[in-house]
Amino acid sequence: MTRASNDNVAMPDKRAVVEHNRRMWDRLAKAGIPYTRLVGTPPRTAAAKRRFLDPRGRYAGVDFAGARVLSLAGGGGWHPILFAELGADVTLVDISAAQCRTVRESARARGAAVRVVRGDMRDLSRFAQASFDVVDHQHSLVFVPDAARVIRGVGRVLAPGGTYLFSTMHPTTLRLYGTWTGTGWRPRTRYADERAIPYEDDLWEFGRTKVRAPTIEYGHRIETLVNACVKAGMVVDGLWEWSPGDGSAGEPGSDDELERWLPAFVEIRARKSAR
Ligand SMILES: C[S@@+](CC[C@H](N)C(=O)[O-])C[C@H]1O[C@@H](n2cnc3c(N)ncnc32)[C@H](O)[C@@H]1O
């Protein structure tokens, strides 16, 4: 993913950041970048669909049939649809109307039942306590300033024994994208500094698709994420740091090359304690 700029965006309050990013996601969806359309074709059998949904086996041992699944910020992707096709009772929450529409229309076309709710991941108050068995949350905490607030909400809606799986941009790598000096990478902010990451380049570029969308992004520290899970009554039982591909195609100093040295994503699995 090419990094986006926020240099020209005055740092507003948290609600304004979220509203700004909502508009950017509507714009990105209009441009049809990969995170806003259903990429690939899922296979037909249940076992193969499950592998398509969970290629790294993070949900090993979790039965989706009959499970109440919250697809958090899962608009524009296959996940909510595939959970439903695997027998789960699925609710999608996403802040972008365009991202919600993509899932609603595709689910309808495939005959999959997905409840679609347009909303902010930071406010799950519409859902009862312990009302989900699985919360699936990929690549989107980076767009909110207050990750701990989101995780607190997840801890409330997750049923005892339930699974929360989430991924976000790796906080170290996020601070280094686009900073190659010719001899090394220079962090944009200190690791301990959790304000938005300042970028100069607001272009999202995927092959021939290019769109200017200065999303405001936050590199939440790993200790923030793990401790928020613990505080929300969850036990972290898996943490992975990884990059897509092997980075071998990257030009020297490019973001692709950076992802060869450092992980693009951090992924965490937590279970709600049975108390
Ligand atoms: C990188 S996309 C990920 C989409 C999908 N989960 C996937 O993995 O393909 C980020 C998603 O987060 C959503 N999003 C951003 N801020 C949000 C917020 N505050 N509450 C809910 N959804 C949000 C965007 O609309 C977008 O659909």
234 secondary structure, DSSP code: E
Strands, DSSP E only, in the chain? 68-72, 89-94, 114-118, 132-137, 158-169, 203-206, 209-212, 234-242, 265-272
- Domain for residue 9, yes or no? no
Domain count, the chain: 1
Kindly report, residue by residue over 84-124, the tens digit of the pLDDT: 999 999 999 999 999 999 999 999 999 999 999 999 999 99
- Domain for residue 85, yes or no? yes
Between the alpha carbon of residue 198 and those of residues 19, 103, 215, 224, 249, the distances in Å are 18, 31, 10, 20, 26
Task: Work out the average pLDDT over 190-197.
Answer: 94
Select from 15, 70, 94 the residue to mutate for testing ligand 1; criterion: most ligand atoms less than 8 Å from CB.
Answer: 94
The proportion of the chain whose per-residue pLDDT surpasses 90, expressed as a percent, equals: 85
Q: Distance (Å, rounded) from C-alpha 87 to C-alpha 85?
A: 5
pLDDT greater at residue 171 or residue 7? 171
- Domain for residue 2, yes or no? no
Residue 1 banded pLDDT, cuts 50, 70, 90: very low
- Domain for residue 153, yes or no? yes
Q: Let me know: does 214 contact 202? Beta carbons within 8 Å.
A: yes
What is the CA(256)–ligand 1 centre distance, in A?
22
Residue 275 banded pLDDT, cuts 50, 70, 90: low
Mapping DSSP to helix (H, G, I), strand (E, B) and coil, where does residue 89 land? strand
- Domain for residue 225, yes or no? yes
Q: Distance (Å, rounded) from C-alpha 62 to C-alpha 261?
A: 32
pLDDT greater at residue 132 or residue 210? 132
- Stretch (H or E) spanning 269: strand 265-272
What is the CA(139)–ligand 1 centre distance, in A?
7
Q: Distance (Å, rounded) from C-alpha 96 to C-alpha 187?
A: 31
Task: Work out the average pLDDT over 13-20.
Answer: 95
- Domain for residue 220, yes or no? yes
Kindly report, residue by residue over 35-55, the tens digit of the pLDDT: 899 999 999 999 999 999 999
- Domain for residue 3, yes or no? no
- Domain for residue 48, yes or no? yes
Taking the CA of residue 35 as reference, the ligand 1 atom at the shortest distance is 9
**Residue 2 scores a pLDDT above 50:** no
The whole-model pTM stands at 0.94
Taking the CA of residue 73 as reference, the ligand 1 atom at the shortest distance is 22
What is the CA(183)–ligand 1 centre distance, in A?
35
Q: Distance (Å, rounded) from C-alpha 157 to C-alpha 30?
A: 32
pLDDT greater at residue 204 or residue 64? 64
Mapping DSSP to helix (H, G, I), strand (E, B) and coil, where does residue 103 land? helix
Whose CA is closest to atom 19 on ligand 1?
A: 120
Question: Quick one: pLDDT at residue 199?
Answer: 81
Domain extent for 197? 14-37+44-272
The reply to whether ligand 1 has any atom less than 6 angstroms from the CB of 29 is no
- Domain CATH number, residue 219: 3.40.50.150
- Three-state SS annotation for 110-121: HCCCEEEEECCC
Whose CA is closest to atom 18 on ligand 1?
A: 120
Kindly report, residue by residue over 232-265, the tens digit of the pLDDT: 999 999 999 999 976 676 888 999 999 999 999 9
Chain mean pLDDT for the chain: 93
Question: Quick one: pLDDT at residue 126?
Answer: 98
Q: Let me know: does 131 contact 157? Beta carbons within 8 Å.
A: yes
